Amino acid sequence: MAVLRERVHDFYRDVAFEPRHIENFRRAIEAGAQARLPILIHCAVGKDRTGLLASLIQHILGVSEADQITEFLLTRQDRRLIDELNARLFDAARKLGKTLNLEASEAMTSVHPENLEIAWAAIRERHGSIDAYVAALGIAPETAAAIRAAYLV
């Protein structure tokens, strides 16, 4: 279990810096600024990359980190989603001729505050701040202002 939790932590340390995610984050934020419509983020699981992207958008909107964590943790309230994720993991393991125990599956599907905090810490370590990271994504100040204008009342 500890090894799996560390792998999840490694994922959160690295996810913000993978080129495909950088591009997806930039495109999603820019699309939100241009569309001026509600933002729907679709993802395979909907908690890791999606959680970080939602956090970045919330940061641009001025949402406190405490409130971002609260929103992030809402994912674990939908037990149906978690049960479905666990079922998919068990099925994938079975197809590979492997066995998976519930403890390991829960480690991969769970949502914990430290996951997002680890991503933020990695971003701050490499960029100095979340704002600097957002700028490094290629998000112009005008785009951030458009997000705020579109979604804040």
Domains and CATH numbers, the chain: 2-38+45-77+114-151 (3.90.190.10)
Give residue 107's pLDDT: 74
**Do residues 106 and 86 touch, judged by C-beta distance below 8 A?**
yes
pLDDT < 70 stretches in the chain = 1, 44-45
pLDDT at 44: 64
CA atoms of 86 and 82, how far apart (whole Å): 6
121: which DSSP letter? H
Output the pLDDT for position 133.
Answer: 98
pLDDT at 53: 95
CA distance 145 to 6: 37
Given a contact cutoff of 8 angstroms between Cβ atoms, the answer to whether 73 and 113 are in contact is: yes
Q: What Rg value do the Cα atoms of the chain yield, rounded?
A: 17
pLDDT of residue 90: 87
Rounded Cα distance, 20 and 4, in Å: 23
